[in-house]
Amino acid sequence: MTIVQTDPLQIPLPWQIAQWQKSLDSFGSGLMSHAQIFCGVSGLGKREYAAALTQHIFCLSLQNGLGCSECRNCRLILAEVHPDVLKISPEKPGSAIKVDEIRSLNEFVNCTSESGIAKVVLIEEADRMNRNAANALLKNLEEPPANTFFFLVSSREMQLPITVRSRCQRINFSAPDRRTTIEWLQQQNTGSESCELPVLLAAGAPLAAQRLISDACKQRYTALFTSLESLITGRSNPTIEAKSLMDSEQTELLCWISSWIAGVAKAQNSSSVENVETGCTNLDEQVRQVSLMVLLSFGYIVQRAFLDSCAVSNINKQLILENLLMSWQRLMRPRNIRG
Ligand SMILES: [Zn+2]
C-alpha cells in the first residue's frame, strides 16, 4: 500500500498541542528564547513545528495562531524566499552541514530585518553540522543579534557539541502513547493494513510510522528481518548480509533493530499486548525463546553500533554492520535459548 499525502500537516499535531501553546505564549509576551533546539526522535513533526512557528512570527493575519498562508509574509515563507528567514539543511539526506553554509548566516544576521518584525534562522538536522560549522554558529549564539531567533531541529541532539546545546533552550518532543499514534495513523487514511509493526519500529513516532507503512520502507525492514532470520537458520553469513543491507540508511536500520528488540524484551517481561511479530516465522519463534538477558545484551550492542555509526563520517559502515550481525548470530545460538 502506498500513502498519498495530499494535505500539509496541520500544526499543532495532537501530541504537540501543549507545547504549541507554550511557544505562542512565550513569543506573545516577548520572552521567547532567542535560540531553541527542537529535539526528540525522528517522526514527531519537529521540522513542521519550527516552520509553523516561523510563520506565526511573521504572519500579518494570523488564523487561530497559525499563519494564514495568504499574506505577503506567509507566501514568501512558503516559497522559501522570505528575506528575513534563512533555512539551512544538509544538501542531501545524511550529508554534513559545512562551515560555508553557516558563514552565510553571519551576513544574514548582520542585515536589518526587511519586514521590521524579526529574523529567523532555521537549521534542520542541526546535528549534521561539522565541527567548523558548529563553531561558526556558536559565535552567533554567544552574542545573539537583536530580535533574531535560531531554531535548531535535531533528532540526535547529543551529537551536537555541548557548547551549542548549552546556549539553546531545549524543547523536547515525545512520542504520544501507542493508542494515540494508531488512531492518528488511521485518520491519515493508512487503510486497514496492520500498523503495529511500523509503530513499534518507529518507537511510536507517528510520522515515522506513517512512512514505514509505505511500500518502499516495508521492503527495507522486511529485508532486514529476513537477514536476521537467515543468520539464525545458518542460511547465510554476516559478511553477505551486511553487504546486502548497505543500501539502507544505517542509523535508521539500527533504530529499527533497537526499537524491535526493546519491544520484544518488553513483551517478554510484562503482559504487554503489543504485537512484536515481524512476519518471519523462524525469527519470531527464536526471539520468543531467547532469555531477557540475551535480548538486553544485544540491545546494548545495537546502541554502541548506533553511536559508532553517527560518530565519524568516513567510518567503515559495512564493518559496523558486519560486527553487529556477528554478535547477533553468536547470541542467538541454541545454548542461549531458554528451557
Ligand atoms: Zn499570513
Is the Cβ–Cβ distance between 17 and 229 less than 8 Å?
A: no
Question: So where are the chain's domains?
Answer: 17-26+33-89+97-172, 214-336
Calculate how far, in angstroms, residue 140's C-alpha sits from the geometric centre of ligand 1: 28
Calculate how far, in angstroms, residue 25's C-alpha sits from the geometric centre of ligand 1: 18
Q: Report the amino acid identity of residue 314.
A: N
Calculate how far, in angstroms, residue 56's C-alpha sits from the geometric centre of ligand 1: 8
Calculate how far, in angstroms, residue 150's C-alpha sits from the geometric centre of ligand 1: 20
CATH number of 17-26+33-89+97-172: 3.40.50.300
Overall pTM > 0.75: yes
Calculate how far, in angstroms, residue 80's C-alpha sits from the geometric centre of ligand 1: 14
Question: Cell 501507542, residue?
Answer: 178
- Ion ligand 1: residue ranges with CB closer than 5 A: 59, 67-68, 71, 74
Is the Cβ–Cβ distance between 176 and 192 less than 8 Å?
A: no
Q: Report the amino acid identity of residue 288.
A: R
Q: What is the pLDDT of residue 5?
A: 41
Question: Cell 554502541, residue?
Answer: 304
Q: What fold, for 214-336?
A: Zinc Finger, Delta Prime; domain 3 (1.20.272)
Calculate how far, in angstroms, residue 64's C-alpha sits from the geometric centre of ligand 1: 11
Burial class (CB in 10 A: 0-12, 13-18, 19+), 67: buried
Q: What is the pLDDT of residue 9?
A: 81
Calculate how far, in angstroms, residue 21's C-alpha sits from the geometric centre of ligand 1: 18
Per-10-residue mean pLDDT of the chain, 339 residues long, equals: 53 95 97 96 95 97 95 96 95 84 86 95 94 91 92 93 96 93 84 80 93 88 96 94 91 93 89 83 92 94 91 80 96 71
- Strand runs labelled E in 79-205: 85-88, 119-123, 148-154, 169-172
Q: What is the pLDDT of residue 241?
A: 96
Rounded Cα distance, 24 and 57, in Å:
9
Is the Cβ–Cβ distance between 128 and 121 less than 8 Å?
A: no
Rounded Cα distance, 195 and 204, in Å:
11
